[in-house]
Amino acid sequence: MHGTSEATGTIDVALAHATRLLESAPGLAAEQADEILKVAPNHPVATLVLGVARRCLGDISGAMRVLQPLAQANPGWAAAHYEAGLALSRAGQGEGAIHALRRAVSLKPDLPDAWRALADHFTATGEAAAADAAYANHIRFSTRDPRLLEPALALCDNRIAVAESLLREHLKKYPTDVAAIRMFAEVAARLGRFGDAEKLLARCLDLAPSFAAARHNYALVLHRQHKTADALRETSRLLSEDPQNPGYRNLHAAILGRIGEYDQALEIYADVLKEFPLQPKVWMSYGHALKTAGKRAESIAAYRETLRLAPQLGEAWWSLANLKTFRFAPDELAEMQKQIERSDLNEADRYHLHFALGKALEDARQYADSFHHYERGNALRRQTVDYDGQENTDHVRRSKAVLTRELFGQKQGFGCSAPDPIFIVGLPRAGSTLLEQILSSHSQVEGTMELPDIIAMARALGEKKTRREVSKYPEVLASLTAEDCRRLGEEYLARTRIQRKTDAPYFIDKMPNNFAHVGLIHLALPNAKIIDARRHPLGCCFSAFKQHFARGQNFSYSLDEVGRYYRDYVELMRHFDEVLPGRVHRVIYETLVEHTEREVRRLLDYCALPFEPGVMKFYENERAVRTASSEQVRMPIFKEGVEQWLHYEAFLAPLKTALGPALAAWNSSTSKLKSRDEGPNNDSQS
């Protein structure tokens, strides 16, 4: 007995030594573990140390040969499953990694690193809710300070107000506690206060530059604020330290997609799919990127693979419908109708399916059934968004009060003189993507996408942090000095520079909602061009109503609200026509379709660009397009869609009522133009 005890003691000492060597000298740790296993074959802890050492040395296949059998032989040992999960992840076997990591945390919930790894994998597979829960558990179980246990638990349970109060008090006493700062930033992010979260995380990283979890959070809040260059810098730094981390790669790909680097993004998604071939949301993200890059057939194949794996995933059905030129086969229509009858569908899948069925039945000319699904999808989606149409109406009223002819006269000559931007504003589904495609086919113009920067700058000027506060914008525009305006123009150019890939002197920003900020644009960039894309009120509003937008455009999920929004837009643009005559060039979609070359020449004249024949072959332009019209603008102009709304006119009484004077003014203007047998001019239908 004495000899056995002595041998065990010797092995324990050797194991402790090998474990200490893992971080600093994994090769020596592996040698030590091998020696122990010669004396004590199949010793579980020595086997674990050997597997970990091989993983640390980059010998992933060797680590797998050790760790997978170890986990199988010890089904109740959390550490074995955790280490097997890390090895599987490094081997590119994402599905197996998730299974192993799930097993580890089910056996031993207080494994913060396992939760973090699991969260990274859920992020890669698009399981946002599961990722959030796993990240919260990582925070909870990585907290060793007993004073932080209660706020960590509150954060994990999504009791945000409790967590916020406790952390605020803690940080008054311990202002440099990086764990608490990171938790407080998570509270701010969940409340949508991304600017506050950014400042907290920047402070956290000043105190602890190697705090990778905080840096990942930092990159994410930068991305959510459209600070793309800064976010890309942070994900690049994270990947330099941990190039195989699936969460880092997924975020990096999303950021690359936002700045038009689709080839790189597609390469990352393809690599992630090798690791997660059975994850439908990864296939769907891949399909989105392929669609934007103009790879139509490949995107359809990716969406169909998504649906093979998860036929209930409504967003994938809608993604196919949203190609606009795609037509569902009868068996696909039947499958959608089968799926929407399921009682276990979540709300997002259900409303996406309603929108997809609306489009499929519209293509089948079953307009009444189609409208039923559009109406139902919108009603469900409206319940999920926080929108108050009065806020937009108030913005129009306040803008008209402050942005007068006298104000613009006083500030004449203010701003940055650069002529680079061409803004296309209006409402979604009014032909802005077609205008962008035409202009970007000119040798001197580069197309980008719907850039969020003007809206972000307006929000910053407003200094509004909560819904209850009143924004200082647009009234703050009256107090801007010449230096302020110049700085704002330069800020916009700096923020958008990352979007420019060519040396073309002009670039397009086609964020439609920028119509609300024409005054800011004029003050900051007086030489920028502003084009108002306008369409028949009923055609435009109904097209927006039947479109499910990935984000934003919350006014579009009710016929009443979309009509009111259009009415507000027309009123504000009429005001700018009065106080800044000739500043905005208006293009009527229906006229552009009817008299394409004439309208294109007028457009180019306004932009001070010479006519080039290539702009008339815009459909041959292979640039990436990120909007719902991406497939339509890759074909010549067709007239069939101009009056598509007429099939639904019987259902549009609420929209007509909401439009009120805007519809009456359109009809009156159109009637006069028809009597003169000429198209609308620049100032018509304003």
CATH number at residue 551: 3.40.50.300
Task: Quote the pLDDT of residue 125.
Answer: 85
Q: Does some domain include residue 611?
A: yes
Largest CA-CA distance found in the chain, in angstroms, rounded: 113
Is residue 276 within 8 Å of residue 94, measured between CB atoms?
Answer: yes
Task: Quote the pLDDT of residue 50.
Answer: 92
**Which of 152, 172, 188 is where one domain is finished?**
188
| Residues in Cβ contact with 26 at an 8 Å cutoff, skipping those fewer than 6 apart | 52, 53, 54, 56, 57
**Which of 161, 188, 215 is where one domain is finished?**
188
| CA dihedral sign of residues 230, 234, 239, 244 | negative
Range of the domain at 173: 2-188
Cα–Cα distance between 203 and 188 in angstroms, integer? 14
Task: Quote the pLDDT of residue 639.
Answer: 62
Whole-model pTM: value is 0.81
Amino acid at 122: F
Q: Angle at CA 285, nearest 5°, toward 279 and 288?
A: 145
Q: Which run of H or E residues covers position 635?
A: none
Q: Which stretches in the chain have pLDDT values below 50? A: 1-7, 623-635, 675-686
Supply the CATH number for residue 131's domain. 1.25.40.10
Q: Which run of H or E residues covers position 264?
A: helix 262-275
DSSP 356-381: HHHHHHHHTT-HHHHHHHHHHHHHHH
**Which of 163, 188, 213 is where one domain is finished?**
188
Is residue 266 within 8 Å of residue 85, measured between CB atoms?
Answer: no
Cα–Cα distance between 321 and 329 in angstroms, integer? 12
Q: What is the pLDDT of residues 51-106, one digit of tens each?
A: 999 999 999 999 999 999 999 999 999 999 999 999 999 888 999 999 999 999 99
Q: Does some domain include residue 203?
A: no
Cα dist from 45 to 55, 67, 78, 109, whole Å? 15, 11, 12, 20
Q: Does some domain include residue 268?
A: no
Exposure class string for 318-332: b at 16+ Cβ within 10 A, else e: bbbbbbbebebeeeb
Task: Quote the pLDDT of residue 324.
Answer: 81
Q: Does some domain include residue 133?
A: yes
Cα-Cα-Cα-Cα torsion 642, 647, 649, 655, nearest 10 degrees, comes to -60
Task: Quote the pLDDT of residue 638.
Answer: 58
Q: Which two tokens stand for residue 323?
A: 């190609």
Q: Does some domain include residue 455?
A: yes
A 10 A CB-CB count for 492 gives: 25
Is residue 542 within 8 Å of residue 648, measured between CB atoms?
Answer: yes
Q: φ and ψ at 320, to 5 degrees?
A: -65, -45
Q: Does some domain include residue 348?
A: no
Amino acid at 428: P
Residues comprising the chain, all counted: 686
Task: Quote the pLDDT of residue 4.
Answer: 46
Q: Does some domain include residue 260?
A: no
Cα–Cα distance between 441 and 447 in angstroms, integer? 8
3-state SS of 74-115 is: CCCCHHHHHHHHHHHHHCCCHHHHHHHHHHHHHHCCCCHHHH
| CA dihedral sign of residues 78, 79, 81, 82 | positive
Q: Does some domain include residue 343?
A: no
Strand order in the sheet with 529-534: 445-449, 506-509, 421-426, 529-534, 584-588
Cα-Cα-Cα-Cα torsion 626, 628, 630, 634, nearest 10 degrees, comes to -160
User: Per the structure, how many domains does the chain have?
Assistant: 2
